[in-house]
């Protein structure tokens, strides 16, 4: 059995959890928030999620883990068969990561602390996100899935990255980023309706109080050690 490490409030954790459930891969979940030396032995950059394979190897980085799962559990594929169609799926995920999720993620400390984000940071995030929006307009189809007529990893990945874009980026900047991409909001709403998405959302909500307590303590510790 494989082990998924991380916590249910993490959008990236939920991408892998979705894939495991979609592919019906037997797995167990190991709740961990990171931040320890021990964790670095499992996830060398210290991030969540990580996966321990059946043979005991540790993998991290969400798309790396998902690609591994795709190779080892090919039934119910999450990539199309043609090389160009697969590249299109990867391009959507890469644009989402670099130009929408990561810039929105820069605003997480301000969302949690309530401190105003500096203008220079806001301007930079807006600039990068604007490029992401223009690219997503070109790349997405929603016919009915994000990359076309097949449900792919891009659907799962973008849906969970949207949680950070909408919940952090849009909120802090008072700018409805998803509304800028025609079809994105409706598609995102539909993505919430599957049984898997509902179960993952229930776990996320259940984890929220503990995660908030962890992050508040973590931020208090970092601001003390910064002084
Ligand atoms: N590039 C990583 C990003 C994962 C990530 O940012 N995870 C967050 C939780 S959602 C995390 O571990 N943050 C703690 C940290 O940055 O130290 C991936 O694709 O898995």
* Domain range list for the chain: 2-76+195-225, 83-192
Of 106, 165, 167, nearest in space to 132 by CA: 165
Read off the pLDDT band of 87 (50, 70, 90).
Answer: very high
Which CATH fold would you assign to the domain 83-192?
Glutathione S-transferase Yfyf (Class Pi); Chain A, domain 2 (1.20.1050)
Residues β-bridged to residue 4: 29, 51
**Ligand 1: which of 15, 35, 47 to mutate, most ligand atoms within 8 Å of CB?**
47
pTM: 0.96
Q: Residue 154 gets which letter from DSSP?
A: H
List the beta strands (DSSP E) in 104-182: none
Q: How far is CA 91 from CA 101, 159, 226, in A?
A: 14, 15, 38
Task: State residue 227's pLDDT score.
Answer: 44
In this prediction, residues 4-31 reach a mean pLDDT of 98
How far, in Å, is the centroid of ligand 1 from the Cα of 29?
Answer: 17
* pLDDT tens, residue by residue, 133-166: 999 999 999 999 999 999 999 999 999 999 999 9
Task: State residue 225's pLDDT score.
Answer: 54
What mean pLDDT, rounded, does the chain reach?
Answer: 96
The span from the CA of 222 to the CA of 227, in Å, is 9
How far, in Å, is the centroid of ligand 1 from the Cα of 227?
Answer: 25
In this prediction, residues 81-106 reach a mean pLDDT of 98
In ligand 1, which atom is closest to the CA atom of 35? 17
In ligand 1, which atom is closest to the CA atom of 45? 17
Domain 2-76+195-225 listed as CATH 3.40.50.1100: no
Task: State residue 223's pLDDT score.
Answer: 66
Q: Residue 79 gets which letter from DSSP?
A: S
* pLDDT tens, residue by residue, 96-143: 999 999 999 999 999 988 899 999 999 999 999 999 999 999 999 999
Residue 22 has pLDDT above 70, yes or no: yes
Read off the pLDDT band of 224 (50, 70, 90).
Answer: low
- Least confident segment among 21-25, 143-147, 193-197, 221-225: 221-225
Read off the pLDDT band of 218 (50, 70, 90).
Answer: confident
Let me know the angle formed at the C-alpha of 65 by 63 and 66, rounded to the nearest 5 degrees. Answer: 60
Q: Which two tokens stand for residue 186?
A: 């409706």
Residue 58 belongs to what H/E stretch? strand 58-60
Please tell me if the domain spanning 2-76+195-225 has the same topology as the one spanning 83-192: no
Q: Which two tokens stand for residue 86?
A: 């697969």
């Amino acid at each position: 059995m494989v082990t998924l490490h991380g916590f249910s409030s993490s959008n990236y954790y939920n991408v892998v959890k979705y894939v495991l459930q979609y592919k019906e891969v037997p797995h167990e979940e190991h709740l961990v928030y990171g931040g320890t030396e021990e964790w670095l032995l499992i996830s060398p950059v210290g991030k969540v999620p990580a996966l321990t394979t059946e043979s005991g190897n540790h993998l991290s980085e969400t798309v790396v883990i998902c690609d591994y799962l795709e190779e080892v559990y090919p039934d119910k594929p999450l990539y199309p068969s043609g090389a160009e169609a697969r590249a299109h799926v990867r391009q959507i995920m890469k644009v989402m990561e670099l130009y929408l999720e990561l810039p929105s993620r820069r605003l997480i400390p301000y969302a949690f602390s309530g401190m105003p984000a500096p203008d220079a940071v806001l301007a930079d995030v807006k600039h990068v996100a604007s490029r992401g929006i223009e690219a997503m307009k070109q790349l997405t189809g929603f016919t009915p899935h994000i990359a076309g007529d097949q449900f792919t990893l891009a659907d799962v990945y973008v849906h969970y990255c949207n949680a950070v874009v909408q919940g952090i980026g849009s909120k802090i900047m008072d700018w409805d980023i998803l509304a800028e991409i025609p079809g994105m909001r409706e598609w995102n709403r539909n993505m919430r309706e599957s049984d898997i998405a509902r179960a993952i959302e229930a776990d996320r909500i259940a984890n929220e109080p503990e995660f908030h307590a962890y992050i508040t303590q973590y931020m208090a510790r970092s601001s003390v050690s910064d002084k």
